[in-house]
Structure 1
Amino acid sequence: MKEILCFGDSNTYGLVPKENRRFSYEERWTGILSEKLKSDYHITEEGLCGRTTVFEDPFRQGRRASATLPQILESHSDTDLITLMLGTNDLKTCFRTNEKLIANGIEILIKQILQFNSRIKILLISPLLLGEKVWQKEYDPEFDIHSVEISKLLKAEYKFLSEKYKTEFLAASDFVKPSETDQEHLDREAHKIFAEALYKKLTKIF
C-alpha cells in the first residue's frame, strides 16, 4: 500500500466557502481521491485553515508550517509521497510578502522533507489563484489587490523549485479556480475536478 500525506491549508482541509464548516470526507478532494485510488493507497489529510509556509500569523497561533512539518513527518514516517500545497495564506497583507519570499518559504519545506527522508516523493502544487474581488469587504479584506497579482506569479516560482529539487509538479490553477462565493476556496464541484487531476497525476507517478 502506498502512503500519501496531503499537507496544506484550508483548501486541503476542505473548508466550505463562506461557512464555518468542512465538506464531508466524500466531498473533499482528499476523500474523492482516496475512493478513486482504492485500497492500494492510503490518504492522510493534514490540512489546516490559515496555514502559512514560514510566516507567524499574529492573530492565529500554530499556523507556521516550517515549525510543525518535521513533527508531522515523524508521525507519518512511512509516507511514500507528500502533496505540498501552500502559499495562499502567505499572500495576506500582514506579511508584506511577494512571490520570491513565498517561494523561499516553500523551499524551506522541501528541504525539511528531503532532510527527513530523501526517498519521499514530493508533489509540489502551486495553489489556485485568488479571486479578483477577494480583497473587498464582503469577501476577505486580509488580502488586497497586490495579493491577487502575486498569486498569479506563484506557478512559475514553484515550477522552478520543482525543477531545482527534481520533485513532481502540478498547478492547481490549471484545473480549478476559487468559488464566486468567497473568492478563495474550492467549491464542491472544484473538489471533484481537482481530485480527478490529482488522480491522473498520481497514477503516472506510481
Structure 2
Amino acid sequence: MTAKDGQGIDAFPPALRALLEAELAAGNTILEVGHGSPAPPVGAWVRLAKRVATRPRAASPEIGFHDRRSSLWSGEWTDPRRFFFVLEPPGPSPPAPDMDALRRAAAPPAALRPPRPAPLAIEVDRRGEMLTCREDGRVATIICTFSGGPRLLPRTLEGWWIPAERRSDPIAPADRAALVGRIVEHCRRLGMAGLTIED
C-alpha cells in the first residue's frame, strides 16, 4: 500500500475506518485503494481480498450496506453520504443455465403443436402430364405439363380419392393452397428446376 493509499484511507469516516481495522485484524487484506467510481471524486474506495466477516451484512445508522452481486464487487459498505466505500470481491459466478431445460420450458405443449402432415409421395407421369400424390391412404392428382418447362396447374387438383372407402373428399381452399405448396416443394426436391404455377 502506497503513502497515497494510506492518505485515502485516513480520509475515511471513523465508522468505515473502524470496519477496515477490524477486518485487517481478523486477517482480511486490502487489495487496492482507488478514487473514482463508485465513489465521487471527493471520496475513495478500498477493495478487500475477502468478504467482511466482522459484522452482520446489514446497514446501520453509521454504515450503509448493499449486496450488489456484480462481476466487479459483491457487497459494498459506505458512509451515509456515499463518498467512501469498502468493496468486497465479486462472488462466484452463477452456474451456466441449462439451455436444454430452457428450450423445453419454452416449447409449446404437445397438444398445442400443429400436427405434422403425413409423408407425401408423388409419382410423376411425364407422358400423361400428371402428378399422382399419395398420403395416408388417399390419392389426389394434379396436371403438370412438361413442354417448355414444368408447369403445375392447381385448378386441376379436385379432391382426395380414398380407395379403401371408394369415395372422394373435396379439398378446402386453405388446404388446397397448403397441398400445392407441399407438391411444389416435393417436385423441386425431385429436381424439377424452373417449376412454375399456372392457374
Q: Give the TM-score normalised by structure 2.
A: 0.24
Greater relative contact order: 1 or 2 (C-alpha under 8 angstroms, separation 6 or more)?
1
Q: Give the TM-score normalised by structure 1.
A: 0.24
Larger fraction in strand: 2
Structure with greater Cα Rg: 2
